[in-house]
Amino acid sequence: MKTGKPVLTKDLFDQYLENESLFVNREVMRPSYMPELLPHREKEINDLANVLAPALRGEAPSNIFIYGKTGTGKTAVVKLLGKELRKKGEQKGKKVNVIYLNCEIIDTHYRLLQNIANQFINEWNDHVPFTGWPTDEVYSKLKIMMDKEKSVTIIVLDEVDKLQGDEALYSLTRINSELTNARISVIGISNDLKFTEFLDPRVKSSLGEESMIFDPYDAKQLQDILHERVKFALKKGTVDDDVIPLCAALSAQEHGDARRALDLLRVAAELAERTHAPKVTRHHVRQAQNKIELDRVTEVVRTLPNQSKLVLYAVLMLDKQSKKAGTTQTMTTGEVYDLYHELCKKVRYNCLTQRRTADLISELDMLGVVTARVISKGRHGRTTEIQISSTSKDLMEILHEDEVFKDLANYKMKEQARLTI
DNA sequence: CTTCCACAGGAAGGTCTGGCGG
DNA sequence: CCGCCAGACCTTCCTGTGGAAG
């Protein structure tokens, strides 16, 4: 830089490498990381182990359903036990297959069977293509493959409620009676307690032989989980004493979601690192909370339908205007609707009714983009008071990404009358 | 106390899309 | 391919209402 020459990339990276990193192993803090130790899930691990144990004697364990909110350790427990089971099976000479499938990605009957079948390809060289075969044929092929293997297979279906239709589940439960040498059992994981209510009764009875519920963690338990991970993820002494309790408390308020707690701490540490701070502090946690929330809101706004975007645009314009005038930053349904109406004409959209617009506003409220509450102004009627949420300051730019809204960037509001109110 | 504003928000019905069984 | 149905999305019409002004 002193010589005026362009900075070489090498120097840039050198600078990065010279910076002391707070992390020892960043991966440990990511949601995808599978820990060896799961604090406060000992009971669940034990119970599930008891259910699965028959697999080691070559018998099929009961099918089981596992419920629990996000971040309560369902997947982690199942994966951990799957690993153990495979290991133990090898030691004992009883082969146990554990196949983990996420039904959010593998969501149709065909793809489910295809994926299971392809787990066996290394031994028998047949391969099932990702499309082209009739589903029945995949099914019978699968049966042949499994019978040749003569082993117990445990199929884990994560997010099983995302699976389309129940034929897929039905055929999996039916398969046992058509196998001679092999056995399968199914573990279904879901965060929807009412999921089984809508299932075919036959599937329901055979699949729900056992069930387990994972309760959310409380703040104390979350602290233990965080401590356990921090040991491996961050350097010693880089985390202030009050940081972990804070992360735990904030996440416990939500749902007791361990994933959130870890995210919070990881983002906080990343922010600290970026500002070359020697330690992660409370301050960073607060910043992290804002960042996570901002990222969430940004994503929500990007994927909003255009009419909702336009309504939001009107809200943002009114907010900007009232701030310029130094008045309080709230507005009413009527004001928003009037401006929205104007904007509609400007961009040649067909304008929705006030009734519908009111619904869109309350949707924005539920998504946490704006805050809306019903108030009465006495003689001046009853209305909803709207405010943009604290994290939604710079949403205008996101809306401008959309072609339709670009033209509005230099659009000025006509009416000045309400400034005097 | 009554009045009455400016909406809230429920009910019912219309239109369109997309999946599904025959 | 067609008819059917469910559900998303809107409209029309409606009744209900908190509380400052009168």
Q: Would you give per-residue pLDDT tens digits along chain A (421 residues)?
A: 444 555 555 666 666 666 667 788 888 888 888 888 888 999 999 999 999 999 888 888 899 989 888 889 999 999 999 999 999 888 888 888 898 988 877 777 778 888 887 777 655 555 666 666 667 777 777 777 777 777 888 999 888 877 766 677 777 877 877 777 788 888 989 887 767 766 667 777 777 778 899 999 999 999 999 999 998 888 888 888 899 999 999 999 888 899 999 999 999 999 998 888 888 999 999 999 999 998 999 999 999 999 999 999 999 999 888 887 766 678 999 999 999 999 999 888 899 999 999 999 999 999 999 999 999 999 999 999 999 987 666 788 888 888 888 877 777 665 444 443 3
Structure tokens at A282: 């409370």
The protein residue nearest B4 (Cα–C1') is A379
Query: Distance from residue A209 (CA) to nucleotide C19 (C1'), in Å?
Result: 58
What residue ranges of chain A are covered by domains with CATH 1.10.10.10?
A: 305-406
The protein residue nearest B5 (Cα–C1') is A381
Structure tokens at A172: 């999996």
Structure tokens at A167: 């034929």
Please give the Cα distance from A359 to A362 (Å, whole number): 5
Kindly report the bases of strand C lying within 7 A of a protein C-beta atom. Answer: 9-13, 16-22
CA dihedral angle for residue A85, residue A218, residue A370, residue A309, rounded to 10 degrees: 0
Kindly report the bases of strand B lying within 7 A of a protein C-beta atom. Answer: 3-11, 20
Q: Residue A146 half-sphere exposure, CB side, CA atoms within 13 Å?
A: 30
Is 3.90.1150.110 the CATH number for A217-301? Answer: no
Query: Distance from residue A353 (CA) to nucleotide B14 (C1'), in Å?
Result: 15
Structure tokens at A352: 């929705």
Residues 346-405 of chain A with CB under 7 A from strand C are 350-353, 355-356, 359-360, 376-379, 381-382
Query: Distance from residue A411 (CA) to nucleotide C3 (C1'), in Å?
Result: 49
* Residue A351, nucleotide of least CA–C1' distance: C10
What residue ranges of chain A are covered by domains with CATH 3.40.50.300?
A: 41-214
At the second CATH level, the architecture of A305-406 is: Orthogonal Bundle (1.10)
List, in order, residues 6 or more apart from A59 with CB less than 8 Å away: A152, A183
pTM: 0.76
Whether A165 sits with its Cβ under 7 A from any strand B atom: the answer reads: yes
**Reading across the β-sheet that carries A183-190, which strands appear in turn?**
A96-102, A152-158, A183-190, A64-68, A210-214
Mutual orientation of helices A135-149 and A109-117 as an angle, nearest 10°? Answer: 30
Query: Distance from residue A9 (CA) to nucleotide C8 (C1'), in Å?
Result: 52
Distances (CA, A) of A58 to A24, A55, A120, A150, A157: 42, 5, 18, 9, 21
Query: Distance from residue A381 (CA) to nucleotide B3 (C1'), in Å?
Result: 12
Residues 270-309 of chain A with CB under 7 A from strand C are 305, 307
What residue ranges of chain A are covered by domains with CATH 1.10.8.60?
A: 217-301
List, in order, residues 6 or more apart from A306 with CB less than 8 Å away: A349, A402, A404
* Residue A357, nucleotide of least CA–C1' distance: C10
Please give the Cα distance from A17 to A14 (Å, whole number): 5
Could you tell me which of A216, A171, A169 has the C-alpha nearest to residue A191? A216
Please give the Cα distance from A272 to A287 (Å, whole number): 10
What are the backbone angles phi and psi of residue A15, rounded to the nearest 5°?
Answer: -60, -40
Instruction: For domain A41-214, give its CATH number from 2.30.40.10, 3.30.470.20, 3.40.50.300, 3.40.50.10240.
Output: 3.40.50.300
Residues 328-387 of chain A with CB under 7 A from strand B are 332-335, 354-355, 358, 361-362, 374, 378-384
* Residue A356, nucleotide of least CA–C1' distance: C10
Query: Distance from residue A385 (CA) to nucleotide C19 (C1'), in Å?
Result: 16
